[in-house]
């Protein structure tokens, strides 16, 4: 049964609009826990546009369920993660101007740096995941680099209208890559852009471990509340 990691970045996005302390990321994390979701995920971006260092420190202190920190290969952030020691780190590519994480890591180009960061994090007992495109080549490189897990980028899939030819093409890419992930003995996670319409095709993929979902849940929470939004997603994920 797949697990749901709730990404609460966009609670912080809203908070940062006014910078007067609410809505509280800690209150959100407690709701994630009480709903029975399996993990809290946040992305500490280099530009600190939503999650702040202090959020990460507080979450580490209060969370009873696993804490997954998404981060780039930036030296200062890697040092911070090594100090904080979240349960899991997902290494992602990052560009300042992007609205959200575009594309997976280029493991060939960043080979040496990724290898070194993976090794440092693992030495601290942190589970290390690499955010990659659903491509066989990237899965094999992730294995070679010593990652424990990969998170397959579902962004391209999520942009397709459910049921179209393009949708099934992208779904197939994810299924093929997933098979290799399992064959390589890596933990299989996926995320980005998943919503209430497109998630169920991904959650039934054999061996799927965790789906990290943020924007669609927070957007739905605006109308129905965070608790209901998470519980609705949990039903679709835990099939």
**Active-site residue, selected from the candidate residues 10, 38, 50, 192:** 192
Residues 66-105: x/- map of binding to ligand PXP (CB under 6 A)? ----x-------------------x-x-------xx----
For residue 135, is the peptide bond before it cis, meaning its omega torsion is within 30 degrees of 0? no
Instruction: Name residues contacting ligand PXP, limited to 103-162 (CB under 6 A).
Output: 131, 151
Q: Which stretch binds ligand PXP (CB under 6 A): 20-28, 176-184, 186-194, 223-231?
A: 186-194
Q: Which stretch binds ligand PXP (CB under 6 A): 142-150, 168-176, 177-185, 208-216?
A: 208-216
Q: How many residues bind ligand PXP (CB under 6 A)?
A: 19
Among residues 191, 214, 215, 187, which one has the least CA distance to residue 202? 191
Distance CA 211, CA 199 (A): 9
Handedness of CA 200, 202, 205, 208 (dihedral sign): negative
Instruction: Name residues contacting ligand PXP, limited to 35-64 (CB under 6 A).
Output: 43
Instruction: Report CA dihedral (120, 123, 126, 128) to the nearest 10 degrees.
Output: 50
Return the structure tokens found at 96: 């300042």
Annotated active-site residue 153? The verdict is no
Instruction: Report CA dihedral (171, 209, 32, 54) to the nearest 10 degrees.
Output: -100
Closer by beta carbon to ligand PXP, 69 or else 180: 69
Please identify which residue in 181, 193, 202, 203 interacts with ligand PXP, judged by CB under 6 A: 193
Active site residues per annotation: 43, 70, 192
Contacting residues toward ligand PXP, per CB under 6 A: 7, 9, 43, 70, 90, 92, 100-101, 131, 151, 191-194, 212-216
């Amino acid at each position: 049964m797949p697990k749901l990691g709730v990404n609460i970045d966009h609670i912080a996005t809203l908070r940062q609009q006014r910078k007067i302390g609410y809505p509280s990321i800690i209150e959100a994390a407690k709701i994630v826990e009480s709903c029975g979701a399996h993990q809290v995920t946040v992305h500490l971006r280099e530009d600190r546009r939503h999650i702040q260092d202090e959020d990460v420190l507080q979450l580490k202190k209060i969370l009873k369920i696993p804490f997954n920190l998404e981060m780039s290969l930036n030296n200062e952030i890697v040092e911070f993660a090594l100090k904080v020691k979240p349960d899991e780190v997902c290494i992602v590519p990052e560009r300042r101007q992007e609205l959200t994480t575009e594309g997976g890591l280029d493991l060939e180009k960043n080979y040496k740096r990724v290898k070194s960061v993976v090794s440092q994090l693992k030495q601290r007992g942190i589970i290390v995941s690499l955010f990659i495109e659903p491509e066989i080549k990237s899965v094999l490189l992730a294995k070679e680099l010593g990652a424990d897990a990969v998170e397959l980028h579902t962004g391209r899939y999520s942009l397709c209208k459910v049921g179209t030819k393009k949708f099934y093409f992208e779904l197939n890419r994810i299924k093929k890559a997933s098979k290799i992930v399992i064959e390589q003995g890596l933990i299989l996670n996926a995320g980005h852009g998943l919503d209430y319409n497109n998630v169920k095709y991904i959650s039934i993929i054999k061996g799927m471990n965790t789906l990290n979902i943020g924007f669609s849940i927070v957007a739905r929470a605006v109308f129905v509340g965070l608790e209901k939004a998470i519980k609705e997603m949990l039903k679709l994920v835990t099939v």
